[in-house]
């Protein structure tokens, strides 16, 4: 029996897609610059079906790629042309809400926002990607996703306490302590979170949730220049204050977000800084007054304070819509995701301006300022010859500038297919070899999301020797990523 027949027997014929037109739905994730068609896309309806699908693919020697909502921005869920795409969107059950133990157990296709809704209003799940309406918890785990509130609360990895995982050979294992905080043995849970689908498929996820903060105070301060907003962030941190979130938007981002949301941001402002405090009411009030003073001392031209929940939601609406709103400024954009030590913010923003001039493109900046996690959006028009290439090169130079300033090639969007070429700029060959050994321990056959994350895939068991340049590389005819 062929593999497709087997998949149909496991999941039902209507959940195995092989027709080219239907497969197009899955050809890209959120990074549309990459597209590929799998041989088949399969939508299992249970963890048991995922296990049988992966086992069948493994026995047939066929690569698999897991896909949640497909909102990833590094090509992580890009299909393998000879492989099977395992779409987890039907695994949407919330299995257990255990607020006494501050835990919720969910299937991987549940969205980030649904987790919050399931535990609220008394409890709160802090990691909040701007894509939270659509992105799946399985994708969040695979990417170790962050969001505006991670400055204070930490990333997905700080909230996953247990996982059920289908390994690349189809075996099912439990990683972590389930509802307990920790478990004896190697921290395989820590290794899995952020592994971008290369170590297996998560089919059940246990998350820690926390009591919802009793009070919130939110403001947005406006400035003439970005460096004033950056200075405010540094001054807030230096004062020992820890807001839940600190987000900066530049002039272009404000323009786009305002056009999309009508949130009332002044479009002549050079920068906007959203600051949100949370915690006990009295603590919030005292710290909030101090933050307002710090904004003024750093030349804020205006400060808008949310007086009620509706105004708070509006302030956030503009920030969270910033990516999607870029379509109002240019037909295409390339989202970069890099990190820098927060103190390097002025240097990197100046460098981004220089690069934008050099490559003759516009770059909008919107970022998690507390974490130093930048999201430069390089705008272009794919219909104009050469512009897409210039945008991509400019985005690449921005990554390099961040690494040169002591930062990282990715903050929260992952390496995927898009950034694997930059891995050697952060890691030496022995570091990469250690990653590869871990990967091979989970997936000796190399069938789980191959071609992603690692720059120089080699077969498991192959001994990494010193790097030797191939003659065609030396001749400048090929480049190794």
Ligand X SMILES: Cc1cc2nc3c(=O)[nH]c(=O)nc-3n(C[C@H](O)[C@H](O)[C@H](O)COP(=O)(O)OP(=O)(O)OC[C@H]3O[C@@H](n4cnc5c(N)ncnc54)[C@H](O)[C@@H]3O)c2cc1C
Site residues (vs ligand X, CB under 6 A): 29-30, 65-73, 76-77, 88, 108, 129-131, 135-136, 138-140, 142-143, 145-147, 196-197, 201-202, 323-324, 412-413, 449
Closest approach of ligand X to the CB of residue 98, in Å: 21
Phi, psi for 330 (deg, rounded to 5): -155, 150
Closest approach of ligand X to the CB of residue 200, in Å: 7
CA-to-CA separations, 247 to 131, 318, 323, 371, 373, in angstroms, rounded: 16, 11, 13, 9, 10
Phi, psi for 187 (deg, rounded to 5): -85, 70
Query: Between 136 and 436, whose beta carbon lies closer to ligand X?
Result: 136
Closest approach of ligand X to the CB of residue 453, in Å: 8
Closest approach of ligand X to the CB of residue 467, in Å: 27
Angle among Cα 242, 248, 143 to the nearest 5 degrees reads 80
In terms of Cα–Cα distance, which of 37, 36, 40, 43 is closest to 5? 40
Closest approach of ligand X to the CB of residue 288, in Å: 24
Closest approach of ligand X to the CB of residue 373, in Å: 8
Closest approach of ligand X to the CB of residue 141, in Å: 6
Map tokens 């871990």 to a residue: 438
Query: Between 290 and 435, whose beta carbon lies closer to ligand X?
Result: 435
Query: Between 397 and 412, whose beta carbon lies closer to ligand X?
Result: 412
Closest approach of ligand X to the CB of residue 146, in Å: 5
Query: Between 64 and 298, whose beta carbon lies closer to ligand X?
Result: 64
The Cα–Cα gap between 72 and 58 comes to 25
Query: Between 11 and 295, whose beta carbon lies closer to ligand X?
Result: 11
The strand pair at 84-87 and 64-67 is best described as: parallel
Angle between helices 345-359 and 226-238 (to 10 degrees): 160
The Cα–Cα gap between 192 and 337 comes to 21
How is residue 137 written in tokens?
């918890």
Query: Between 204 and 231, whose beta carbon lies closer to ligand X?
Result: 204
Query: Between 295 and 318, whose beta carbon lies closer to ligand X?
Result: 318
With CB atoms as reference, the residue minimizing the distance to ligand X is 139
In terms of Cα–Cα distance, which of 150, 170, 231 is closest to 48? 170
Closest approach of ligand X to the CB of residue 176, in Å: 14
Closest approach of ligand X to the CB of residue 160, in Å: 12
Query: Between 136 and 253, whose beta carbon lies closer to ligand X?
Result: 136
Query: Between 298 and 411, whose beta carbon lies closer to ligand X?
Result: 411
CB atoms within 10 A of CB 235: 16
Closest approach of ligand X to the CB of residue 81, in Å: 15
How is residue 261 written in tokens?
């949301």
* Residues comprising the chain, all counted: 481
Query: Between 233 and 294, whose beta carbon lies closer to ligand X?
Result: 233
Phi, psi for 338 (deg, rounded to 5): -135, 165
Query: Between 86 and 388, whose beta carbon lies closer to ligand X?
Result: 86
Cβ contacts of residue 36 below 8 Å, gap of 6+? 27, 78, 79, 80, 81
């Amino acid at each position: 029996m062929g593999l497709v027949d087997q998949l149909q027997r496991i999941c039902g014929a209507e959940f195995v897609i092989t027709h080219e037109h239907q497969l197009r739905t899955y050809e890209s994730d959120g990074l549309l610059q990459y597209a590929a068609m799998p041989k088949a896309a399969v939508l299992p309806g249970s963890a048991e079906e995922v296990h049988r699908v992966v086992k069948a693919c493994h026995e047939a020697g066929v690569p698999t790629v897991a896909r949640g909502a497909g909102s990833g921005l590094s090509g992580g869920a890009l299909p393998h042309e000879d492989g099977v795409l395992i779409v987890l969107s039907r695994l949407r059950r919330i299995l257990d809400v255990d607020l006494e133990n501050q835990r919720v157990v969910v299937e991987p296709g549940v969205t980030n926002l649904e987790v919050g809704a399931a535990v609220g209003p008394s409890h709160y799940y802090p990691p909040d990607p701007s894509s939270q309406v659509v992105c799946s918890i399985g994708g969040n785990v695979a990417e170790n996703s962050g969001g505006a509130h991670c400055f204070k609360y930490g990333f997905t990895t700080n909230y996953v306490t247990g996982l059920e995982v289908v390994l690349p050979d189809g075996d099912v294992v439990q990683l972590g302590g389930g509802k307990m905080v920790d478990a004896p043995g190697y921290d395989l849970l820590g290794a899995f979170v952020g592994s971008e689908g290369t170590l297996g498929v998560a089919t059940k996820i246990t998350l820690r949730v926390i009591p919802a903060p009793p009070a919130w105070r939110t403001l947005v301060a406006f400035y003439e220049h970005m460096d004033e907003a950056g200075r405010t962030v540094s001054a807030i941190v230096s004062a020992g204050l820890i807001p839940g979130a600190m987000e900066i938007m530049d002039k272009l981002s404000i323009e786009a977000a305002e056009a999309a949301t009508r949130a009332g941001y002044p479009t002549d402002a050079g920068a906007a800084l959203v600051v949100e405090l949370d915690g006990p009411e009295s603590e919030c009030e005292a710290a909030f007054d101090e933050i307002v003073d710090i904004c003024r001392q750093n030349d804020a031209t205006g400060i808008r304070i949310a007086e009620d929940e509706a105004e708070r939601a509006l302030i956030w609406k503009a920030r969270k819509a910033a990516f999607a709103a870029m379509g109002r400024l240019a037909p295409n954009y390339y989202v970069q995701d890099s990190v820098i030590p927060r103190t390097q913010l002025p240097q990197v923003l100046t460098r981004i301006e220089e690069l934008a001039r050099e490559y003759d493109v516009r770059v909008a900046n919107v970022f998690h300022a507390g974490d130093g996690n930048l999201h430069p959006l390089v705008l272009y028009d794919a219909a104009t010859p050469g512009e897409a290439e210039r945008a991509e090169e400019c985005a690449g130079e921005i990554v390099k500038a961040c690494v040169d300033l002591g930062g990282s090639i990715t903050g929260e969007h992952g390496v995927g297919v898009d950034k694997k070429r930059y891995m050697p700029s952060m890691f030496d060959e022995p570091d990469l070899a250690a990653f590869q050994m871990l990967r091979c321990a989970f997936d000796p056959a190399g069938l789980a999301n191959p071609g992603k994350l690692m720059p120089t895939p080699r077969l498991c068991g192959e001994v990494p020797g010193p790097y030797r340049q191939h003659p065609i590389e030396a001749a400048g005819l090929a480049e190794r990523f």
